[in-house]
Structure 1
Amino acid sequence: MPLPAELGIVVVNHGEPDLLELNLVGIGRRARTGRVVVVDNFSGLATREATTVLCAREGWTLIAPGIDLGFGAAVNAGVRLLRSHGCDRLLILSPDVRIDEPGMLTLAQGCSAEPQRILSPRIVGTDGSLWFGGGTVDIRRGRALMADDADSSAPGGWLSGACLMIHASLWDWLDGCDEGHFRSWEDVDLSWRCVAAGGCLAVHSDVTAVRSTRSFPVAGVVSPLDVYSACRSRLTFAARHLGRRHIVQWLLASPGYAVSVLRNGRHRSRTGRPGALLVAAVRGTAAGAGTALRTIGADTHGTGGRRVHAEQTAAG
């Protein structure tokens, strides 16, 4: 039997048809026609052709922009299409993550029972080691952390965008992903906005997804655009969610954060020019700092008041 018609899957791909083949085919063949949407952010003609052939073979709907939309805009585009087909439970899935049918159904049932809650499975590597069991934001240092003992449902928690189940009503209420982050911190931002709006987060410990061996995005930085986005989005996140004191702390910690991004990504540059990554880190930090400084200088009433409330909630 196919999966329920109300279930939809959106996958943001970026030049990885081999991972789509490995991880999406199994569950994709259980979904009803039109319920799997692949948004292929453009990375090259060869990978676009391979992705197009795979989607046609499997009967998946392909959205093929001529540019890289970023993660948030790509997810939003895929969800809009699924919503037009009547899907009310939405699985956001990375091409490097595989989830089986019982696991997906368990998440979907939990989503229906508590539509105000975003759900994630435990995510392990192919060797069985835990990759994501919960996430929290270190407010003082300005880092989004994953740890074995992290509790996503606690203040400051977040869920990884690698595998999320969300009800369409909550998605609509949150107005989807913030497209301003482009390729980093979108899942943390979505998680925090969910909690600020009265929703909640949970890792469903009875469901396990498997992630193909590859590093977490900060450790898997491969291009100047990745570096730029990581450094910029961290500070735009702070500007949106935190009060002045912590924004200043994050600004002061930005050089150290940029160094960590460069150190983790130095052997993975697509350009082969480490200098290009350094320039991207400086530019991304400067762009994010501009947003943060404008926030600090703005009136603290209105949205600023909500930022302070979010900060106090995260700090417990």
Structure 2
Amino acid sequence: MSPQLAVVTVTYSPGEHLDRFVTSLASSLAGATDESVEIILADNGSTDGSPERAAQTYDNVRLLDTGANIGYGGAVNRAVAELDPSIEFVIVANPDVEWQPGAVAELLAAAQRWPRAGALGPVVRELDGSVYPSARSVPGLLSGAGHALLGTVWPSNPWTQSYRQENEALSERPVGWLSGSCLLLRRSAFDSVNGFDSRYFMYMEDVDLGDRLTKAGWHNIYVPTAEVVHAKGHAAGRHPELMLPAHHESAYRFQADRHPEWWQAPLRLALKAGLATRSRIAVRSALRDRATSEDVRGKGSNDDGR
């Protein structure tokens, strides 16, 4: 029997990406299931009309209005709650993912090989074909701080290398966590840990999920025979002044949750102050780079060609 499968994606004015997501998924499903797979668009307030068009164009696409921008994890939870209880597997993926042929079939086959796999993730490629490090270790306090402080200025530092695992062979294996940009989730595992923690508005919700799945006795399995291409950040990249602070706040929440004792309060305070400072620096840098880029484009458009 074909496994019972559904797809959830969170939309926030995804534009042309959404159509490629739906059409490439159809070819990726070949050999995975004989039935039409329901795709739920958990919409967090799109204004470009693309989710509505997709729901009108494709019979298997359903639009679910979350009522507000409730964040990534919260929107996924809301959509999964709508699924029939018979659904065994749920694909959760960003709408700017383009599926490669057979990717879903490979993920489902790996799920059969790993009956305790709670989450399975493919190779995620950038638009230029390079591999994004989507299978990583769970950051501890030391490794997380080392990566946060030195990852940009010293990419080869040992903490970043250990965390990102970029030098690991592309082999099927358990990892600490998998990128939430594309996951195959075993419904029973996802439900057993109460899904995503909706306190994470954006970022780190996938790290938290992977960590909680492991602690509950499940595995996060990296499946390099499955591939997707990710356009990366169609929504996040437009507003660094909002997204970068959200990233740093999520990083603080992740570590604070894992260091909750009263005697760890000074540690939490130092972490909060350090991440807040790093966030301000990162926002200033991103806005400066954006202004420079816009200035260059503006000059180019005014160039009379002489």
Give me the TM-score of the superposition, normalised by structure 1. Answer: 0.71
Pairing partner for 1:40 from 39, 43, 61: 43
Residues 1:246 and 1:146: Cα distance change in structure 2 (over 3 Å) = farther
Deviation at 1:130, TM superposition (A): 1.1
- SS at structure 1 position matched to 2:54: helix
- SS at structure 1 position matched to 2:239: coil
Contact 2:244 2:282 in 1 (8 A): no
Q: Structure 2 counterpart of 1:257, which letter? A: L
Contact 1:37 1:82 in 2 (8 A): no
Structure 1 residue 121 and structure 2 residue 122: aligned?
A: yes
Pairing partner for 1:139 from 138, 141, 153: 141
Higher mean alpha-carbon deviation, 221-230 vs 55-64, is at 221-230
Q: Identify the residue that residue 235 of structure 1 maps to in structure 2.
A: 252
Q: Identify the residue that residue 27 of structure 1 maps to in structure 2.
A: 25
Structure 1 residue 153 and structure 2 residue 174: aligned?
A: yes
Residues 1:61 and 1:208: Cα distance change in structure 2 (over 3 Å) = same
Contact 1:122 1:207 in 2 (8 A): yes
Q: Identify the residue that residue 278 of structure 1 maps to in structure 2.
A: none
Q: Structure 2 counterpart of 1:148, which letter? A: E
Deviation at 1:78, TM superposition (A): 1.4
Residues 1:127 and 1:267: Cα distance change in structure 2 (over 3 Å) = same
RMSD (CA atoms): 3.2
Distance in 1 of aligned mates of 2:177 and 2:232: 22
Q: Identify the residue that residue 303 of structure 1 maps to in structure 2.
A: none
Q: Identify the residue that residue 203 of structure 1 maps to in structure 2.
A: 222
Q: Which is bigger in relative contact order (C-alpha 8 A, separation at least 6)?
A: 2
Structure 1 residue 62 and structure 2 residue 63: aligned?
A: yes
- SS at structure 1 position matched to 2:18: helix
Gaps of 5+ in 1: 274-316
Gaps of 5+ in 2: 149-162, 292-306
Residues 1:34 and 1:110: Cα distance change in structure 2 (over 3 Å) = closer
Query: For the pair shown, which has the larger CA radius of gyration, 1 or 2?
Result: 2
Q: Identify the residue that residue 297 of structure 2 maps to in structure 1.
A: none
Q: Identify the residue that residue 158 of structure 2 maps to in structure 1.
A: none
Deviation at 1:16, TM superposition (A): 0.9
Aligned residue pairs, count: 261
Distance in 2 of aligned mates of 1:183 and 1:146: 19
Residues 1:255 and 1:38: Cα distance change in structure 2 (over 3 Å) = same
Q: Identify the residue that residue 80 of structure 2 maps to in structure 1.
A: 79
Deviation at 1:207, TM superposition (A): 1.5
Higher mean alpha-carbon deviation, 102-111 vs 226-235, is at 226-235
Deviation at 1:75, TM superposition (A): 0.5
Deviation at 1:223, TM superposition (A): 5.0
Q: Percent identity?
A: 22
Distance in 1 of aligned mates of 2:52 and 2:130: 33
Contact 1:99 1:209 in 2 (8 A): yes
Q: Identify the residue that residue 192 of structure 1 maps to in structure 2.
A: 211
Distance in 2 of aligned mates of 1:24 and 1:267: 35
Deviation at 1:233, TM superposition (A): 1.9
Q: Structure 2 counterpart of 1:121, which letter? A: P
Contact 2:120 2:220 in 1 (8 A): yes
Q: Identify the residue that residue 304 of structure 1 maps to in structure 2.
A: none
Q: Structure 2 counterpart of 1:7, which letter? A: L
Residues 1:82 and 1:146: Cα distance change in structure 2 (over 3 Å) = farther
Higher mean alpha-carbon deviation, 117-126 vs 207-216, is at 207-216
Q: Identify the residue that residue 97 of structure 1 maps to in structure 2.
A: 97
- SS at structure 2 position matched to 1:8: strand
- SS at structure 1 position matched to 2:95: coil
Q: Identify the residue that residue 296 of structure 1 maps to in structure 2.
A: none
Contact 1:39 1:74 in 2 (8 A): yes
Deviation at 1:128, TM superposition (A): 0.9
- SS at structure 2 position matched to 1:230: helix
Q: Structure 1 counterpart of 2:210, which letter? A: S
Alignment of 1:171-186 (within 5 A): 171-186=190-205
Q: 1:161-181 deviations in whole A, cap 9, x for unaligned? A: 001111111111111111111
Q: Identify the residue that residue 288 of structure 1 maps to in structure 2.
A: none
- SS at structure 2 position matched to 1:153: strand
